[in-house]
Amino acid sequence: MDVIDKAQLVALTREAQGNERKRKNLNLHDGASDLMQRMLNAFEPETYVRPHKHINPDKREVFVILTGKLLVLFFNDEGEIIKHVILNREQGVYGVEIEPNEWHTATGLSEGTVVYEIKDGPYIQAEDKNFAEWAPSEGSEEASQCVKNWLNQLGISLL
């Protein structure tokens, strides 16, 4: 049995804050071969996840907000934002299910943002994400600016 409690979320947040990527996950599933991947995922503000979709094999992904605020963006094939959602318990928006073949990304809007993430398995790193060629690579100088541009485009400020 796995119990998710405040102490666990605080510890995970501290790890994300000390991580260059500004995020950290804690796997709750038994291993890469598990058919339902489950994890806690901490996203600090301005973390950059390169936009991607899950195809070949098709996989669904679900985020349920536990603490903080998470911006989830969806794009068309040209990299234009077509929709977005802010997961925020205070506003009554608790989760989002992402279908296979949807370009998407997520970033934290407030310190201490943690989600419960569920994704179809098994996890095979080489096949897990199909990264968008129109988006900068994670860790590049352009990546940080990309997040700022998205926020500006949508008129969203860090909370």
DSSP-derived secondary structure for 19-64? STTSEEEEE-SS-TT-SEEEEEEEE-BT-----EE-TTTT--EEEE
Query: What pLDDT, in 10s, does the model give residues 66-101?
Result: 999 999 999 999 999 999 999 999 999 999 999 999
CB neighbour class for 104 (10 Å; exposed up to 12, middle 13-18, buried from 19): buried
Q: Can you give the pLDDT at residue 87?
A: 98
pLDDT attached to residue 10: 97
Q: 6-154 belongs to which CATH class?
A: mainly beta
Mean pLDDT computed over 107-136: 91
Name the 3-class secondary structure at 127. Answer: helix
pLDDT at residue 129, rounded to an integer:
85
Which residues does residue 108 pair with via DSSP β-bridges, in sequence order? 45, 70
Tally the C-alpha atoms within 13 A of residue 159's C-alpha that lie toward its C-beta: 18
What pLDDT digit, counting tens, does each position of 7-41 carry?
999 999 999 999 999 999 999 998 888 888 999 99
Sign of the dihedral through C-alpha 128, 133, 134, 136: positive
**Coil, helix or strand at residue 65:** strand
pTM (two decimals): 0.94
